[in-house]
Amino acid sequence: MLETMNIGRPSLSCRRRRRECGFTIWEMMVVIFIIGLVIAIGYPTMRRSLVRARLLSQADILKRAVAVARANALKSGQGVTVRFLDSNAVQEGGVVVAWVDENGNGGLDAPSDKVIGRWPMREKTLLKPDPANILFKLEGGARGVMFLGNGTVMANNSGRVGVGQGAIIVSDHYQNDIRLLILAGTGTVIQEMWDDKAGGWSKELRHWKF
């Protein structure tokens, strides 16, 4: 009678062996579905965070270059030049360079001029001139700023010490634009972001495109 009742039912040892073999195909499918759902929900947020972090980090590099240049000019009492752009045009990536400009010609003359910093920019990061605030013209048509030994700076195309302002725009392939406005008086850097809706620059860094 007991033998008849057990017909078609797996024994305890059989069920134990199945548990030891791992997950069934249905259990695996459920796990994969849950993982996919978590990724689908979390990926857009993660991507937006990465876009913001990458562009802001590039802007921070340029601000750091300005700060290092001014500090070295004040410390040494000599002129210090920072080159942002190879010309007054858009460029991708590149290297921002700062050096002690002994003869004040806006050129990096080796070996007399001492390089105090090199800051590589990421590929796919665009550095752009601001037509309304063109940077100071350096040797060879490059663009940047030149600090004097007292910490004042020539920042715009007029070439006048402590007057006006120059700017450089950092952009990515999503067309997010961050402008760094460099004030000629003290080399203070004002960070702004382009707001498409308002059609102008905003100090609030929240106008992102993804």
- For 2-17, the pLDDT digits (tens) are 444 445 555 555 455 5
pLDDT for residue 37 = 76
Question: Mean pLDDT for the chain?
Answer: 89
Is the pLDDT score of 188 beyond 90?
yes
Q: What is the DSSP string of the chain?
A: -HHHHTTTS--HHHHHHHHHT---HHHHHHHHHHHHHHHHHHHHHHHHHHHHHHHHHHHHHHHHHHHHHHHHHHHHSS-EEEEEESSSS-EES-EEEEEE-TT-SSS--TTTSPEEEEEEPPTT-EEEE-TTSPBEE-GGG-EEEEE-TTS-EE-BTT--TT-SEEEEEEE-TT--EEEEEEETTT--EEEEEEETTTTEEESS------
Read off the pLDDT band of 36 (50, 70, 90).
confident
Query: What is the domain partition of the chain in residue ranges?
Result: 12-202
Q: What is the pLDDT of residue 83?
A: 98
Mean pLDDT across 93-103: 96
For the domain with range 12-202, which CATH number is right: 3.40.50.300, 3.55.40.10, 3.40.50.920, 3.40.50.1100?
3.55.40.10
pLDDT the model gives residue 33:
78
Check whether 32 has a pLDDT greater than 70: yes
**pLDDT by residue (tens digit) across 37-83?**
787 776 678 889 999 999 999 999 999 999 999 999 999 999 999 99
Query: 90 vs 20, which has greater pLDDT?
Result: 90
